[in-house]
Structure 1
Amino acid sequence: MEPFILLFWIFAVPGHTFVLQSGVNVTVMQNISAEDDLWADQRLDYSTEALNTEKEKKSEEEVTMKEAEEEMDTDEEHGVQKAKRVKQTRESDVKSKVLEKIEEQQGQNLYEHDMSDVTKPILTAQNTSHSQDIEEQEEHLPPTMATISQRVLNLHTESVTAPSSFSFTSRGPEAVAARAGPTAKGPFTVESKNKPKDNMKLKAKKKKALKVKAKKSKVTKKAKKLKKFKRERKLKPTTPSYFPYFEDHYCPSECSCYGRVVQCSNKNLDKIPYGIPYNSRYILLMNNHIDSIQLKLLSEYDSMEFLVLSNNYLIDETVEGSFEGIKSLKRLYVERNLLQSIPNDLPVTLEELRLDGNQVSVIPATIFGRCPNLLILSLSNNSLGSKSSTIPPGVLLPLGKLRTLTLSYNQLASVPLQLPLSLRELYLRGNRIQRLQGDMFWGKAELQVLDLSANRLTDKGLGKAALLNASRLESLNLEGNLLKQVPLHLPHSIKTLNLEGNFISSIGKDAFISMPQLEHLGLARNKITKVALGAFRVLPLLHQLDMSHNTLQQVPRQLPLWLHSATFSHNKIRVIPRDAFCWGQGNESPLSRLVMVHLQYNLIDLGHLDTLAFRCLRGFQVVQFY
């Protein structure tokens, strides 16, 4: 009986080789079949539990991946790439686990398919007829047989767990037990009873690690953002805190920029616009509503040479300290504002200052000590000299380079004293000046142009010493005064003399004898009725003579032959003498240089006109009668 059973087992299980002892009988095989049934149920339970555990792991990993993706979405590109790599790694892990599970299920199905041919007929045959006998015999088995059957069962379990390609040769109970132990290696191992607890611990560790990783990623993200902000801040150009666009290529929206010229005029601005480039040379802000200048704004413009703030609403308080520290400013126009005094913080480099049309009434004694390079100073249309106040003597002496001084249309009663000797042009039109004092200059001055028009000068006010030190004077304008005769003792250097709009009634023979260089003479709008014979003959360089709007009854006799233009319109002329334009020795006179003779609006009778009076002229069209 024993050999038969042994042969049957060998043929029924061709994939496994068992060496059994001779003491094994049929009851052992029956015991194996029963144990095999029990093992199959347990294996099904473990498989179900393992599948559930894997599903929970997968769901937790998906949740973790979603959280990581949500956190990493807000990160930068480096964080996004890192999240993609983490996602790919986890997806590969999940795929590998799923593949392992599929392979395990395929192995189990293969094993069940292989064992069905062997165990199923035995279990069917023996369970139907001997199931009760197996249970009864199992209780009464000797200890040795029970041990053998248990070992055989362990051997059978090992064969199920191990791959079908493995072959085991049992060399004894110890070898079989060692093979069936939990340390057996292979792609499929029997899970221990403590594995669920280990899985829970592993989940906790993974969850904790993910939290730490997320926290580190947030800290890293903040650090990266801070680093990026600092880097961008370093890259930005250094500009004042009040405006970030003082770049050379920028132009404020309110202005128009042409190279280094910034045109902001006529824009209804109430303040200087921010953003004007620092390299600007000309800044034009006239005709606006600017009432104040931002403190220390203009001092930042190192290249600015010309600043125009004309026709605005600036007052003393709002410009105090505004012009201090400007390094290159040469021309400053602050005309037609509301200033009552000259700014005391003018830059040293200033060469031209225009304060016309303000309310300046006083010039402090030390105001111009800061501007030794000033060349042009204009203070017309102010209130200088009002309330019996005058300009202090010598207040302008610190301006050792001053060339042009304009004090027109003020309320000055006298010419300022002790003016700089460097002065070349002095404009005093529209004041209340009645006389010129001899100490106007303390030495030989360089004065070339003097305008005293529209004042109250009289014949006595122009004494002998009035212009004694103005030996280089070339142009003297005395229009609109109270003179009754041509002034005497005028400098010999005068080339242009304007005596229009006075009360001169006659011209004497020696009236211009002291002015041999006179070229332009204006005597219009006087009351001249008589001119002495040869009064203008002493002027060898006279080119232009204007005697319109007088009461002349004839053209003056012996006019200079080198005269180019003569105007006698708006008089009462009836006669043109023969020697008025053409005169000389004998009957033949040289050709005249006259180009134009105006005789309109007179009482000349063309029917009784002496044609010999025009014999030396170059053409009849030279004389204009109408």
Structure 2
Amino acid sequence: MAQLALLLIFGFSSSCNGYFVYLNRSGTISEIPSNIPTNATKIDLRNNIISSFGPRAFSNFTSLLMLEASENPLVSIDYTAFEDTKIDNLILAYTQLTQIPDLNAPSLRHLHMQGHPGITHVDFVHLTLLYSRLRLLNVSICSINYTRWPENTTEVTIKNFDLTRNDLNTLSNGAMNSWRRLSFLYLEETGLSTFGCSYINDTELIILKLSRNHLTEFPDLQCVGQTLEILGLARNLITAVAKEDFRDLVTLVSLDLKANRISRLDEPLTMDEHHFNAQIRQDKEMEHKKVSESCPLCSISREFIFHADTASHLSTKKLYLCKAWHRKNQDGK
């Protein structure tokens, strides 16, 4: 343990498979250490007291691919800080930045900016033009309440996008229609009351997470019906589920609807040759509360197992309705 502490205080360098890593998480450095080898491909300065990266701060590290600088009190990064590097992955979580920095970093493909309550506005038009090769963007756990989105004619390369825990409340029509490579979208706990194809029409979503919002209806997702595999809708205000909701979701593997206000369910959810048959079975891996005979959806955990009608849908499909909330009829029955 003492040796590890010394390594963290004075800096630790290692080489593996052609990658040269420098790590210093001592919590004491306020500027970029002078003893970092110039051939470093990854620099980890997390959990220190660095407040800024000045002009050409990393330009000597021409092989630099990744910088981890989270949990520093960063307030500014100069536009030229990464000039002449090969920076591909920039991790700046939980700093004191109040905007996504403009950087001369044409090789950047992964940008992690989560945990910035001071970030309230994001211009995705400017951002996607500046970082034209960006594949992953994480701006979760911020305070974003204003966004500007690219026109449908703009080619956006982002594949993985996380906006979880922001203050969006609504999205502009066509917001991500030009994000044609988008496969993983996380919009949990953003205050959204509506969502559907008008925001994601030309994407190739595989995973869509919309839990902990204010959705009252099952969203129209026919535009991603040929690609969507995982859909998270837990802890919304959805009151009904119908077989039409799944009509176009031919690749869906997992659907999470737990802790909604479902009071009506098409049972059985029998569908035609392009869709699934459904049957209810109790999840044997969890304990269950005593369930009223008039409320078959009120158990702690139940799941729908969707069985394929045709050879093209042989994989088992699951719909989770854990802790489903049953709304009684006005007559109390």
Pairwise TM-score range, normalised by the shorter structure: 0.7 to 0.9
Q: Report if aligned partners of 2:306, 2:317 keep a CA contact under 8 Å in 1.
A: no
* Paired letter, 1:467: L
Q: CA deviation at 1:399?
A: 5.8
* SS state at 1:367 partner: helix
Equivalent residue for 1:447, pick from 193, 196, 205 = 205
- The residue aligned with 1:516 is 276
- The residue aligned with 2:331 is none
- The residue aligned with 1:81 is none
CA distance in 1, matches of 2:69, 2:155: 23
Q: Which has the higher contact order (CA 8 A, sep 6+)?
A: 2
Cα gap change, 1:360 to 1:476, in 2 (>3 Å): same
Q: Report if aligned partners of 1:512, 1:539 keep a CA contact under 8 Å in 2.
A: no
CA distance in 1, matches of 2:181, 2:280: 26
Residue 271 (structure 1) aligned with residue 31 (structure 2): yes
1:108-133 deviation digits (Å, cap 9, x = unpaired): xxxxxxxxxxxxxxxxxxxxxxxxxx
Equivalent residue for 2:109, pick from 324, 327, 351 = 351
- The residue aligned with 1:484 is 239
Q: CA deviation at 1:289?
A: 1.3
CA distance in 2, matches of 1:324, 1:288: 19
Q: CA deviation at 1:530?
A: 3.1
Equivalent residue for 1:257, pick from 13, 17, 28 = 13
CA distance in 2, matches of 1:395, 1:352: 22
Residue 530 (structure 1) aligned with residue 290 (structure 2): no
Cα gap change, 1:403 to 1:518, in 2 (>3 Å): farther
Cα gap change, 1:520 to 1:282, in 2 (>3 Å): farther
Residue 301 (structure 1) aligned with residue 61 (structure 2): yes
* SS state at 1:369 partner: helix
- The residue aligned with 1:467 is 221
TM-score w.r.t. the length of structure 2 is 0.75
Q: Higher helix share goes to which structure?
A: 1
CA distance in 2, matches of 1:305, 1:279: 11
Q: CA deviation at 1:536?
A: 5.3
Cα gap change, 1:537 to 1:470, in 2 (>3 Å): closer
User: 1:19-168, aligned counterparts within 5 Å?
Assistant: none
- The residue aligned with 1:163 is none
CA distance in 2, matches of 1:521, 1:376: 38
* SS state at 1:368 partner: helix
1:39-74 deviation digits (Å, cap 9, x = unpaired): xxxxxxxxxxxxxxxxxxxxxxxxxxxxxxxxxxxx
User: 1:143-542, aligned counterparts within 5 Å?
Assistant: 254-259=10-15, 260-315=20-75, 318-358=76-116, 359-364=118-123, 365-385=125-145, 389=146, 391-394=147-150, 400-415=156-171, 417-419=175-177, 420-443=179-202, 445-459=203-217, 462=219, 466-471=220-225, 472-486=227-241, 488-490=244-246, 491-511=249-269, 513=271, 515-516=275-276, 529-530=295-296, 539-540=307-308, 541-542=315-316
Look at both structures and tell me which one has the larger radius of gyration over its CA atoms.
Answer: 1
% identical equivalent positions: 20
1:371-416 deviation digits (Å, cap 9, x = unpaired): 221110100011111xxx3x22327975632110000000111245
* Paired letter, 1:469: C
Q: Report if aligned partners of 1:407, 1:428 keep a CA contact under 8 Å in 2.
A: yes
5+ long unaligned stretches in structure 1:
1-250, 553-626
CA distance in 2, matches of 1:287, 1:307: 13
CA distance in 1, matches of 2:238, 2:37: 56
CA distance in 1, matches of 2:100, 2:155: 15
Q: CA deviation at 1:517?
A: 9.2
CA distance in 1, matches of 2:121, 2:307: 44
1:442-475 deviation digits (Å, cap 9, x = unpaired): 43x211100000100012x62xxx3132121111
| Stretches (4+) displaced over 6 A | 517-528
Cα gap change, 1:376 to 1:397, in 2 (>3 Å): farther
Cα gap change, 1:338 to 1:521, in 2 (>3 Å): farther
